Structure 1
Amino acid sequence: MSPENQLSSTDFILLGLFSSSHSSLVFFSSLFIVFILTVTENAFLILFIHRDSWLHSPMYFLLSHLSFMDILHVSNIIPKMITNFLSGTRTISFAGCGFQIFLSLALLGGKCLLLAAMSYVCYVAIFHPLHYSVLMSDSVNVLLAVGSLNSIVHTANVLHFPFCEPRVVNHYFCEIPAILKLSCVDTSHYEQGLDVSGIIFLLIPFSMISVSYVKVLHTVLQTKYSEAWKKSFSTRSFHMVVVIMYYGPYIFTYMKAKSYHIPGQDKFLAIFYTILTPTLKPVIYSFKNKDVLKAMKIMLKSNFHHKN
């Protein structure tokens, strides 16, 4: 059935990642496994952090919130992809598309600010350890509120534009750059506002993170690789891997003009910050983090002795 015949007056068509049925079947199987794995990993990390007093610190408090947001993010996108595959359709309602835009943008913006907050926590822990415990949970609520407010503004603006028929979105979920391509009117004025949000939520936090890690690296090199500094830098370097995987594609997607967007490229880049990063983050922070591994060993030993 053609996209035009599947549409109601307000529905959109999501073309997805692959067009052939064979590729879609292989992708669907992999996607289902990735979804279950991502939710399980992040849920385990949240429970583990809240259960073990060894990890009751600002850094892991922020990490647990980041994992919860990752669960919401993949749940906002992947189940709809799976549902469309099983039903044999590619439609998404106007309200469903708007909800995807709102929640995705709110979570992406909130995670950008949380990653910046985590880098600040790392910086304080290294250079001002006496002030480390001052960081409170109220800051998280503020960051999430700012991200939600930004998302409300952009969702309302994007959905206000008239869209040309057929409403075929060359993406696997409703994302602002892909939706703007369907607009029948000039959106350049709105795109300037989108650039402002990109500066606030992407460039400024990423610059702050980069500066803090440059200073940490400079300090590590000056201390002649003492064990304490090497351990500290090793832990923070994995955080930087997540930052690069997340911010890089996100900046490249949202900080360029609509005319320069290539659908295949946008979909490929979106995989990094919507699927790969939420899946790999728990692994990076768990199995590559000495504090988490130590707490995990203590918990396993405690459970073993309790059973005996």
Structure 2
Amino acid sequence: MKESNSSSEKGFLLLGFSDQPQLERILFVIILLFYILNLLGNTAIILVSYLDPKLHTPMYFFLSNLSCVDICFTTSVAPQLLVTMNKKDKNMSYGGCVAQLYVATGLGSSECILLAVMAYDRCAAVCRPLYYTSIMHPQLCVSLASIAWLSGLITSLIQCSLTVQLPLCGHRKLDHIFCEVPVLIKLACVDTTFNEVELFVASVIFLIVPVSLILVSYGFITRAVLRIKSTAGRSKAFGTCSSHLLVVIIFYGTIIFMYLQPAKSSSKNQGKFVSLFYTIVTPLLNPIIYTLRNKDVKGAMRTLVMGNVFSS
């Protein structure tokens, strides 16, 4: 956002849901509750995966990375949103907006790649169980996780650097819940065709490609599971992957709606609720789905809790 306007001096007015005060008060409580639960749930997964030797497997290594991304992703949005919702002055500093733009974009992109990596891990576990440990060796797991984190960093630097160069010509009202690339493109007072094309290309790379890879992985998983003669075996195999698939459907479904629609579209309220869903709600679903549907995690948590109780 170039110096030709006053945005860099006065910051932005982050309107959010200020035109609906009653809804804003309700959402404040819900977002605060979801944020606290998100921190507790995802932190618990990270600690349990680290402390329990039985969970030192590729699946829980990637799950810990996902929990870390979710904590950071939500933290880049929720605290600022809660502060803004709780005061009459909806002003957000220019520096704060730019920092949020870079961090949220990078973490969201990393999660897109990480979910695809987790699908590959499940595919290897179900389709090649005898060779699983040799396929998903520690070096490969670290490399795949590093690619997810670095790819998010790189796309954030590219997308956000292009976005902050757009002149806004005095436009300060950001009718959204946080600083996000598609929303800032709408504020630009110049032709944004190049930015829209770049955003579309990045969305294809980080949304359509991972989704396609995930669908291919689950195609192989489905074929392998159908070959299992035991009904109990089929149910267990499908159950192992269903939680990951549920997270994938919810996360990609909402974010694709936001990023693959025309940048100048006018569905403001829809965009706010969709962004609210994949930044606040979806990161909470990760610990809920993985802990409630996973006997290993629940067993590890019980063991650690009981161990602490008896040791004290």
TM-score calculated relative to the size of structure 1: 0.92
Does the residue aligned with 2:13 lie in a helix, a strand or coil?
Answer: strand
The correspondence of residues 260-271 of structure 1 with structure 2, limited to 5 A, is 260-271=265-276
Deviations 1:272-303 (A, max 9, x none): 21011111110100111122123234334544
Q: Distance in 1 between matches of 2:106 and 2:277?
A: 17
Relative to structure 2, which stretch is displaced further, 50-59 or 134-143?
A: 134-143
Distance 1:221 1:22, change over 3 A: same
Partner of 1:176: 181
Shift of 1:165: 2.9
Alignment counterpart, residue 297 of structure 2, candidates 286, 292, 296: 292
The correspondence of residues 39-188 of structure 1 with structure 2, limited to 5 A, is 39-129=39-129, 130-132=131-133, 133-134=136-137, 135-188=140-193
Q: Distance in 2 between matches of 1:297 and 1:147?
A: 35
Partner of 2:34: 34
Relative to structure 2, which stretch is displaced further, 34-43 or 13-22?
A: 13-22
Shift of 1:159: 0.6
Q: Distance in 2 between matches of 1:154 and 1:10?
A: 23
Q: Distance in 2 between matches of 1:8 and 1:161?
A: 12
Partner of 1:216: 221
Shift of 1:142: 2.2
Contact 1:119 1:209 in 2 (8 A): yes
Specify the code of the residue in structure 2 equivalent to 1:296.
M
Specify the code of the residue in structure 1 equivalent to 2:269.
G
Specify the code of the residue in structure 2 equivalent to 1:94.
Y
Structure 2 gap segments, 5+ residues each: 1-5
Contact 2:14 2:84 in 1 (8 A): no
Relative to structure 2, which stretch is displaced further, 6-15 or 270-279?
A: 6-15
Q: Distance in 1 between matches of 2:82 and 2:273?
A: 18
Partner of 1:232: 237
**Higher relative contact order (CA closer than 8 Å, sequence separation 6+):** 2
Question: Does 2:284 align with 1:279?
Answer: yes
Shift of 1:271: 2.0
Does the residue aligned with 1:181 lie in a helix, a strand or coil?
Answer: helix
Specify the code of the residue in structure 1 equivalent to 2:262.
A
Contact 1:235 1:290 in 2 (8 A): no
Partner of 1:13: 13
Partner of 1:3: none
Relative to structure 2, which stretch is displaced further, 210-219 or 90-99?
A: 210-219
- The runs of at least 4 aligned residues of structure 1 exceeding 3 Å deviation read 6-10, 297-307
Question: Does 2:200 align with 1:191?
Answer: no
Shift of 1:136: 2.8
| Root-mean-square deviation (Å) | 1.9
Deviations 1:195-251 (A, max 9, x none): 111111110111110111122123322324542332121021111010011001111
Specify the code of the residue in structure 1 equivalent to 2:194.
H
Distance 1:15 1:37, change over 3 A: same
Identity over aligned residues, as a percent? Answer: 34
Does the residue aligned with 1:81 lie in a helix, a strand or coil?
Answer: helix
Contact 2:8 2:94 in 1 (8 A): no
Deviations 1:80-122 (A, max 9, x none): 1222233321111221111111111100000000000000000
Shift of 1:65: 1.1
Contact 2:291 2:298 in 1 (8 A): yes
Specify the code of the residue in structure 1 equivalent to 2:255.
Y
Structure 1 gap segments, 5+ residues each: 1-5
Contact 1:49 1:56 in 2 (8 A): yes
TM-score calculated relative to the size of structure 2: 0.90
Deviations 1:130-174 (A, max 9, x none): 243413313212221111011011111001000033321110101
Contact 2:18 2:85 in 1 (8 A): no
